[in-house]
Amino acid sequence: MDSNRRDFLKKATILSSAAITLPTINNAALASSPSFNMGGYAAPKIDKVRVAVIGLGMRGPGAVDRLSYIEGAEIVALCDKHGERVTKAQKILTNKGLKEAKSYSGEDGWQQMLKELELDLVYICTPWAYHAPMAIAAMNSGSHAVTEVPIGLTIQECWDVIKTSEKTKKHCMMLENCCYDFFEMLTLNMTRQGLFGELVHAEGAYIHDLLDLNFNKKGYDNMWRLRENIKMNGNLYPTHGIGPVAQCLNINYGDRMTHLVAMQTNDFMMGDTARELAANDAFYQEFVGKKYRGNMDTTLIKTEKGKTIMLQHDVTSPRPYSRLHALSGTKGFAQKYPKESIAFGHSFIEPEELKSLYEKYTPELVKFIGEQAKDVGGHGGMDFMMDWRLIDCLRNGLPLDQSVYDGAAWSSIVPLSCESVAKNSKTVNIPDFTKGAWKTNKPHDLTLNGGGNTKIRAKVVKGQTEQLNVG
């Protein structure tokens, strides 16, 4: 791609602001255009997956660490705008006796990397505005792409990622790790087995007190996440909540989201925090007087089959962490927070019965890799389970658990909720990113289905080397 990184960011900023008023631009033309269906697509097998990791700030080093344990995944390139971060990440590899990756840094380092190297997978852990441009460039260079959430910040970006994936026949998966958490996987399998009957309503959220972190000068590079909370006014981080429940509802695989309504409180904390900090530190003067997004955003979604979803987003209020993850069906109910609970009537079942459900309905994937994932880590193991599954699917030529359509649909809630809030909670239509294929697409398989032969390298535990034998 000829444009440089600054051009991408300028474009992303323009599109992000335009999304509030024009989120469905070109939808009709895009929806009618012929394309290759990436739903259930199995790319050719890759015995050794050559991986490049872009973005080595908060999330990238963890990805490097986790991938370094997976046989068949070779980290061949590390890239970050800041060269010192690349140097630090190299030590993750060399401390395990692995070969140093090729280093890239600077504003345009990632573009140079894509031009110089032949890659199988580009793993993107950058600020949000870079996700779609980098994923598109990676696919056009001949690589599969995976990106931290969201997959795009505008409807146009979501369509562009889809079109590129369909054109190149390269996977573009959003790294929604919460789909691999243990209770979420349990309830997904229970849903598939019919224990909750037919699901009629689901709830998800991202309720996480990030107020101090968003205003921390040593937190997000150049305060980028705080700036996003000024630029956009809606549900900025919906995918942790929507991803797991969308899979339970078979969204894009037998049903689809059709429209939403979003309502949001005013900001009662971020503006005050900026003023308080600026009183003692001139650095924060830039953030005084800005219009920040509200504390709580509540978004309601309707599906084609008449199901409903409630999503919430609050990253400023002093509340315990919660993603809700509630499923309500004609025969039962499940919720994750404040504690894992399942009911088949007026009362929740006893802990012993919940334990027996885990034993009976934990999916094959979790039984196979779950304990090793807990050992390696990453949000309790779900990050490693996601990464291991990704590499195993690529090595065995299996469809990925999340398609590009999933990433686009879940991410589209960002600009669409912003539009609804801006229009005083008016109803906003959600594009059919599958262009009708949701009617026949099959849900992803919860079994290993031809995979499971990807092993884990030796892991260092308390200064000792322990071999984790998997597969």
Task: Quote the tokens at residue 287.
Answer: 């953030």
Residue from 4, 197, 232 nearest 106 by CA: 4
Residue from 246, 237, 173, 245 nearest 207 by CA: 237
| CATH fold for domain 179-364+400-439 | Dihydrodipicolinate Reductase; domain 2 (3.30.360)
The overall average pLDDT reported for the chain is 92
Spatial separation of the C-alpha atoms in residues 204 and 246, rounded to whole Å: 9
At residue 19, the pLDDT reads 38
- Structure confidence at residue 445 as a pLDDT band (50, 70, 90): confident
Say if residue 282's pLDDT is above 70.
yes
> Is the whole-model pTM more than 0.95?
no
At residue 466, the pLDDT reads 46
Spatial separation of the C-alpha atoms in residues 275 and 399, rounded to whole Å: 50
The pLDDT tens digits of the residues spanning 12-41 come to 443 333 333 334 444 544 555 548 999 999
- Once rounded to an integer, what is the mean pLDDT over residues 101-107? 97
Percent share of the chain, pLDDT over 90: 88
- Structure confidence at residue 458 as a pLDDT band (50, 70, 90): confident
Task: Quote the tokens at residue 247.
Answer: 């899979």
Q: Which amino acid, one-letter code, is at 5? A: R
The pLDDT tens digits of the residues spanning 429-438 come to 999 999 999 9
Q: In whole angstroms, how far apart are CA 177 and each of 220, 232, 261, 262, 268?
A: 20, 24, 26, 25, 30
The pLDDT tens digits of the residues spanning 381-393 come to 999 999 999 999 9
- Residue with the two structure tokens 């939808």: 27
- Once rounded to an integer, what is the mean pLDDT over residues 168-188? 98
At residue 444, the pLDDT reads 85
Say if residue 340's pLDDT is above 70.
yes
- Structure confidence at residue 459 as a pLDDT band (50, 70, 90): low
At residue 31, the pLDDT reads 53
Task: Quote the tokens at residue 158.
Answer: 């979501």
What contacts 217, CB < 8 A, 6 or more positions away? 223, 283
Q: What is the DSSP letter of 219?
A: S
Spatial separation of the C-alpha atoms in residues 203 and 312, rounded to whole Å: 8
- Once rounded to an integer, what is the mean pLDDT over residues 190-201? 98
- Residue with the two structure tokens 């219009």: 291
What contacts 448, CB < 8 A, 6 or more positions away? 364, 365, 368, 392
- Once rounded to an integer, what is the mean pLDDT over residues 317-341? 98
* Annotated domain spans of the chain: 179-364+400-439
At residue 35, the pLDDT reads 81
- Structure confidence at residue 315 as a pLDDT band (50, 70, 90): very high
- Structure confidence at residue 1 as a pLDDT band (50, 70, 90): very low
Cβ atoms of 267 and 454 within 8 Å: the answer is no
